[in-house]
Amino acid sequence: IMGCDIDARMVEIAKANAQAAGVAGDITFKQMRVQDLRSDKINGVIISNPPYGERLSDDAGVTKLYSEMGQVFAPLKTWSKFILTS
């Protein structure tokens, strides 16, 4: 399992939560942009909770982010993808 976020503070919070839940050894955390996600694995699962509303400043930002996510996820044809939106 890998968890990633562009915000270093969120990565640290996720690490602390994993530690408290006793699963820290099962998860690798990285600070990274979704645009930098790459994998050579044939199968996988992506669960994403992208920023929205007040967490993202404007509609243009949402459109750009979702477009970039589509470009990153498109090559992962055999992967399952779950995107949490509001």
Please check whether residues 54 and 86 belong to one and the same domain: yes
Please check whether residues 82 and 53 belong to one and the same domain: yes
Please check whether residues 77 and 48 belong to one and the same domain: yes
**Per the structure, how many domains does the chain have?**
2
Per-residue pLDDT reduced to its tens digit, 1-28: 999 999 999 999 999 999 999 999 999 9
* Residues contacting residue 6 through CB under 8 Å, at least 6 positions apart: 31, 32, 33, 34
Q: Where in the sequence is the domain holding 17, given as residue range(s)?
A: 1-32
Per the structure block, which two tokens stand in for 78? 């055999």
pLDDT score for 51: 78
- The answer to whether 51 and 65 have CB atoms below 8 angstroms apart is yes
Please check whether residues 50 and 76 belong to one and the same domain: yes
Taking alpha carbons only, the member of 4, 67, 83 closest to residue 39 is 4
Per-residue pLDDT reduced to its tens digit, 30-76: 999 999 999 999 999 999 988 766 556 677 777 888 899 999 999 99
Neighbours of 85 (CB within 10 A): 10
Distance CA(19)–CA(44), nearest Å, equals: 24
